[in-house]
Amino acid sequence: MSERLPSRQEALSFLIQSGCAPNVVRHCKAVSDYAVRLAKAFEKRGRNVDVHSVEIAGLLHDIGRSKTHTVDHALVGANIARSLGLPDSLALIIERHAGGGIPRDEARRLGWPARDYVPQTLEEKIVCYADKRVEGLQIVPFEQTLKTYAVSLGETHPALDRIKRLHREFTSQLGEI
């Protein structure tokens, strides 16, 4: 990635300066740490992955929670990242981390600009998946992730299938991690 990414300390400063609550900052650190672990596991298996990008995006994925705790936090967060002059690749990871990714038709129903918000790059997928597996500060079993999302979104919400697909993709390549 040729664009300059902030350091870990700069990213943490952005979270704090934007007004994120301490519990959100702690959650972002936990997601970042798990995402880096996943990225390094992919790297060990010969996959090309930008570990620093994953680390920083993991830290900043919930920066939009400084303004809202709805699903819109992903879009708000991407806009905050862009307003800070951060690389668009980083803003896209933030934008595409919610709900296992949000397809165009669902985005339109949410009142978002009509485009696809489903993670495309490995870095986007890693941060999205890490966020689904970290509840608060803890990495939880995948079954707990599904239960949490089924309770909050409903058992037939399409996000559950997207999260399951991500899980299958990751476990087929990395095993349980």
45-67: pLDDT as tens digits: 999 999 999 999 999 999 999 99
Q: Distance (Å, rounded) from C-alpha 89 to C-alpha 91?
A: 6
pTM of full prediction above 0.85:
yes
Q: Domain holding 28: CATH number?
A: 1.10.3210.10
Tally of domains in the chain: 1
Q: Which helix (H) or strand (E) holds 138?
A: strand 138-139
In a domain? residue 2: no
- Dump pLDDT digits (tens) for 114-148: 999 999 999 999 999 999 999 999 999 999 999 99
Distance CA(129)–CA(30), nearest Å, equals: 13
Expressed as residue numbers, the domain containing 52 is: 8-174
Q: Give helix 122-133 / helix 158-174 axis angle, nearest 10°.
A: 110
Q: In Å, how far are 10, 53, 73, 80, 94 from 4, measured between CA atoms?
A: 12, 10, 24, 17, 16
